[in-house]
Amino acid sequence: MAYLCRRLPTLLPAGSLRNAACVGWKHVCDRPRFMTTAATQTACESHEPHFLQSVESYFDHAAKLSNVSEGTLSHIRAVDSMIRVTFPIELDDGRTEVIEGYRAQHSRHRLPVKGGIRYSEEVDLQEVEALASLMTYKCAVVDVPFGGAKGGIKIDPSRYTLDQLERITRRYTMELCQKKFIGPGVDVPAPDVGTGPREMSWIMDTYRQFNPDDINAQGCVTGKPLAQGGVRGRTEATGLGVYYGVREFLTYPEIQKLTGLTGKIKDTTVIVQGFGNVGYYAAKFFESNGAKVIGIGERDCSVFDRHGLDIEALFKHHRSTGSFRGYSDSVEIIDEPTQVLERDCDILIPAALERQIGLRNADKIKAKIVGEAANGPMTPGAHELLEKRGIVVIPDLLLNAGGVTVSYFEWLKNLSHVRFGRMNKKWDESVRTKLLTVVEENAGRVLTEAERKQIVHGAEEADLIYSGLEDTMISSCEETRQTANLKKVDYRTAAYINAIQKIATVYEGSGMIFMT
Residue 415 makes CB contacts below 8 A (sequence gap 6+) with 184, 216, 219
Rounded Cα distance between 421 and 35, Å, is 45
Q: Which pLDDT tens digit goes with each residue over 281-320?
A: 999 999 999 999 999 998 888 899 999 999 999 999 988 8
Rounded Cα distance between 124 and 449, Å, is 58
Best CA proximity match to 470, nearest among 411, 419, 409, 426: 409
Going by the DSSP 8-state scheme, the letter that residue 99 receives in this structure is E
Instruction: Give yes or no for residue 196 having a pLDDT over 90.
Output: yes
Would you call 486 exposed, middle or buried from its count of C-beta atoms within 10 A (0-12, 13-18, 19+)? exposed
Which pLDDT value is given to residue 369?
96
**Is 150 considered catalytic here?**
yes
Is residue 515 a contact partner of residue 109, using CB atoms and an 8 Å limit?
no
Computed from CA positions of residues 431, 437, 440, 446, in that sequence, does the dihedral angle turn out positive or negative? positive
State the helix-helix crossing angle for 402-416 and 237-250, rounded to 10 degrees. Answer: 130
What are the chain's domains? 237-402 (3.40.50.720), 425-458 (no CATH)
- List of E strands, 298-339: 302-304, 332-334
Rounded Cα distance between 499 and 72, Å, is 13
Which pLDDT value is given to residue 510?
62
Q: Which pLDDT tens digit goes with each residue over 357-381?
A: 999 899 999 999 999 999 989 999 9
Instruction: Give yes or no for residue 33 having a pLDDT over 60.
Output: no
- For residues 298 and 183, the model is more confident at 183
Which pLDDT value is given to residue 440?
76
**What is the average pLDDT value for the chain, to the nearest integer?**
86
Cis before 395 (ω within 30):
no
pLDDT over 90 percentage in the chain? 67
pTM: 0.84
3-state SS string for 66-90 = CCCCHHHHHHHHCCCEEEEEEEEEE
pLDDT over 70 percentage in the chain? 90
- The residue type at 198: R
Band of pLDDT at residue 512, cut at 50, 70 and 90 = low
Instruction: Give yes or no for residue 119 having a pLDDT over 90.
Output: yes
User: In what helix (H) or strand (E) does residue 217 lie, and over which residues does it extend?
Assistant: none
Which pLDDT value is given to residue 452?
77
Average pLDDT over residues 413-421: 90
Is residue 358 a contact partner of residue 339, using CB atoms and an 8 Å limit?
no
Average pLDDT over residues 114-127: 93
DSSP string, 337-386: GGGGGGS--SEEEE-SSS--B-TTTGGG---SEEE--SSS-B-HHHHHHH
Catalytic annotation, pick one of 26, 114, 138, 150:
150
- For residues 38 and 118, the model is more confident at 118
Average pLDDT over residues 249-265: 93
Q: What are phi and psi of 504, to 5 degrees?
A: -60, -35
